[in-house]
Amino acid sequence: MELGSRDSNRNTMSQINVTPLVDVMLVLLVIFMVTAPMMQQGVQVNLPKADTKAMAPQEETVVVSLDRSGKLFINKSEVPFTELKSRLSSMFASRTKKEVFLKADKDVPYGEVVKTMAEIKGAGIERLGMVTEPAQGK
């Protein structure tokens, strides 16, 4: 009899206890639910002075410039802010590579730069790069 009672104890001990597994999974679920909204993709911005390598010039580069007085330029021609989106849309309608570089004076308020970036993205531009000057010394 004693031998039979040992076998029955072994059968009950060989079952997997699922409760700790469920606890761990619930904790992981809560962690991912909390961190997922924080992982939204932001706009990549380089500061006015940075230690970066110079990019090789390409033949069809479009540069949008924002000077200190708030005037906008596409390459070297001045454009009113209200026409920026429509002009960029028409320029890039037939292009496959939709890339624009933004040069903004460091004294321009941050809000103006963000509004300009939003207009550029609203024109269907897929890649937006920020142009900076190299930092002086290390």
Measured distance CA(93)–CA(109) in Å, rounded? 30
Contact 46, 130 (CB under 8 A): yes
CA-based radius of gyration for the chain: 29
Instruction: Encode pLDDT of 46-103 as tens digits.
Output: 456 656 666 554 447 788 888 888 888 888 888 888 888 888 888 888 777 888 888 8
Measured distance CA(54)–CA(49) in Å, rounded? 13
Measured distance CA(8)–CA(60) in Å, rounded? 79
Instruction: Encode pLDDT of 115-133 as tens digits.
Output: 888 888 888 888 888 877 7
Domain boundaries, the chain: 2-39, 49-134
For residue 68, the 8-state DSSP code is T
Question: Is the pTM here over 0.85, yes or no?
Answer: no
pLDDT of 5 higher than 60? no
CATH topology of domain 49-134: Nucleotidyltransferase; domain 5 (3.30.420)
Measured distance CA(97)–CA(95) in Å, rounded? 6
Average pLDDT over residues 2-25: 69
Measured distance CA(18)–CA(33) in Å, rounded? 23
User: Residue 59: its pLDDT value, please?
Assistant: 46
